[in-house]
Amino acid sequence: MDKKHIMVAVLTLAIGLGVGAWTQRQVGAPPSATQYGHEGTEEHGEAGHAETRQPESEADRLILSAEQIQAVGIELAEARLRALNSTLSLPGEIRFDEDRTAHVVPRAAGVVESVQVNLGQAVKKGDLLAVIASQQISDQRSELAASQRRLELARTTYERERQLWQERISAEQDFLQARQGLQEAEIALSNARQKMSALSGNTLLAGGNRYELRAPFDAVVVEKHLVPGEVVNEASNAFTLSDLSRVWVTFGVSARDLGKVRVGKSVTISAAELDEQVTGSVSHVGSLLGEQTRTATVRVTLDNPLGAWRPGLFVSVLLPSDTQPARVSVPEHAIQTLEDKPSVFVRVDEGFVARPVVLGARQAGYVEIRQGLEAGQWVATTGSFILKSELGKDSAEHAH
């Protein structure tokens, strides 16, 4: 009995003793010998001419019975012709949704009396952020109150002078002056009210010389630059709030690839750090090319209900491009790396043969095989790593 048969016997014994915890997968009816393919048959290469494939060496062969294959949990898949889209992989970055990001600034110079929120805190629309005391607010309140009093006096004077003029007691000139005074008082009051309304929006007048900064919408405090006692003015960046339930993915596309991108096109966003993948659609294609990068900025709007996609995270953007003619393809998990070459384990009558292949496009869990495999042949998918491990052990034994 050669070493491979001894290895298989040991593997079978191990399965019988301790592999009860493995989940056995029921493999469908095994293909016939003709479906496995035969060594030495002709295979068409990428250029279209026939190549004569050399028989695999004994070192690439693993002898397993159908029962052993089923017991170990190895599943098979048929290499088939599929039309795959070629994809363009581009680096991207998660960013704030600028349509839902606000930079809250003080509306008047003053001193911070209190800060009610912390960095990273979620707030609701109208929640109090900070209270600021401002002399400007006090002056504007005084101006508004004085304008109201002047208007009341001007209206009283106007009514009296109008009555006297109608009774021909006073001259018309006095009546006209009173009317002009009333109009000027109305203008002054309107001006004072407009100054106060300029503090509206994210602020609310709290009485006296104080006003409040409040959240304009539901968001998260992503930046905070206020502490009690700090002197601020209209140029101070107090808070940055962003609604992280939706984020942007931005990436650059070169001029030669812009024809492959359009608004509404589906793209796949993946992050290796998160082991996450999600599908989105292009929402904006930039009209200008960057002076340094010579690329146009493309944006994808991404729903982020759980907050997993954090701004600043680098991602990979897979952009489908051209549809290729149908070619031989297999599931991605059928591919193993042997001696730094992508390979598959082809099912033959007596077990499996490791065969190097040339890979092409990938899509939806399938990978194109440009060379090394024919349509109709069966390859190991789930559990193929077991075959790789056993082949490596056998190679090590031969080396000694």
Say if residue 302 is in the same domain as residue 336. no
Residues 217 and 259 in one domain: no
Main-chain dihedrals φ then ψ at residue 271, nearest 5 degrees: -130, 115
User: Do residues 118 and 216 share a domain?
Assistant: yes
% pLDDT > 90, the chain: 14
Specify whether 121 is located in the same domain as 222. yes
| Sequence-separated contacts (24+) of 17-24 with Cβ below 8 Å | 19/71, 19/72, 22/72, 22/73, 23/73, 24/70, 24/71, 24/73
Q: How far apart are the first and last CA of the chain?
A: 18
| 53 pLDDT above the threshold of 50 | no
CATH of the domain at 42: 2.40.420.20
pLDDT of residue 241: 94
292 and 198 in a common domain: no
Same domain, 78 and 140: no
Distance CA 136, CA 111 (A): 11
> Between 111 and 36, where is the model more confident?
111
Q: pLDDT value at position 121?
A: 92
Could you tell me which residue, 389 or 95, shows the higher pLDDT? 95
Residue 229: pLDDT over 50? yes
pLDDT at residue 221 above 90? yes
Q: Are strands 239-242 and 219-224 parallel, antiparallel or unpaired?
A: antiparallel
Check if the beta carbon of residue 356 is closer than 8 Å to that of residue 388.
no
Q: Per-residue pLDDT averaged across 269-280, rounded?
A: 86
| Degrees to nearest 5, angle at CA 28 with 22 and 30 | 105
CATH number, domain of 151, equals 2.40.50.100
Judged against a pLDDT cut of 70, whether residue 27 lies above it is answered with no
Q: Which of 222, 242, 262 is the last residue of a domain?
A: 242
Strand intervals (E) in 304-398: 314-323, 327-331, 336-338, 341-348, 351-356, 358-363, 366-371, 378-380
Residue 10: what pLDDT? Answer: 36
Q: How confident is the model at residue 56 (pLDDT cuts 50, 70, 90)?
A: low
Distance CA 197, CA 39 (A): 86
Report the domain count for the chain. Answer: 3
Contact at 8 Å (CB) between 335 and 354?
A: no
pLDDT confidence tier of residue 132, bands split at 50, 70 and 90: confident
What is the reported pLDDT for 133? 86
The residue range of the domain holding 313 is 88-100+244-322
- Of 242, 258, 277, which residue sits at a domain end? 242
Residue 73 CB partners (closer than 8 Å, separation 6+): 22, 23, 24, 25, 382, 383, 386
Looking at per-residue pLDDT, the higher value among 140 and 17 belongs to 140
Are residues 140 and 187 located together in one domain of the fold? yes
Q: DSSP state, 32?
A: P
Taking only the tens place, the pLDDT of each residue in 329-372 is 899 888 888 888 899 989 888 888 888 998 887 777 888 888 88
Contact indicator for 281, 267 with CB cutoff of 8 Å:
yes
When computed from its CA atoms, the radius of gyration of the chain, rounded to whole angstroms, is 38
What single-letter amino acid sits at 74? I
Which of left, alpha, beta for 254 (phi over 0: left; psi -120 to 50: alpha)? beta
Q: Are residues 53 and 131 in the same domain?
A: no
- Regarding whether 350 and 315 lie in a shared domain, the answer is no
Task: Please tell me whether residues 75 and 136 are part of one structural domain.
Answer: no
The yes-or-no verdict on residue 57 having pLDDT over 50 is: yes
155 against 46, higher pLDDT:
155
User: In this predicted structure, what is the pLDDT of residue 123?
Assistant: 93
d(CA 258, CA 254): 6
Which of 21-34 are b and which e, b meaning 16 or more Cβ less than 10 Å from the residue's Cβ?
Answer: eeeeeeeeeeeeee
pTM of the model: 0.52
Helix H segments across 2-43?
3-18, 33-36
**Domain end among 322, 353, 379:** 322
Q: What is the pLDDT, as a whole number, of residue 290?
A: 81
Check if the beta carbon of residue 221 is closer than 8 Å to that of residue 121: yes
Q: What is the pLDDT of residues 158-177, one digit of tens each?
A: 888 888 888 888 888 888 88
CATH of the domain at 315: 2.40.30.170
* The pLDDT of residue 237: 86
Regarding whether 390 and 366 lie in a shared domain, the answer is yes
Confidence of residue 395 (pLDDT cuts 50, 70, 90): low
How many DSSP H helices and E strands does the chain contain? 6, 27
Residues 14 and 114 in one domain: no
Chain position carrying tokens 């690839």: 257
Report helix, strand or coil for 90.
strand
Among residues 299, 294, 188, the alpha carbon closest in space to that of 246 is found at 299
Q: Provide mean pLDDT across the span 276-288.
A: 88
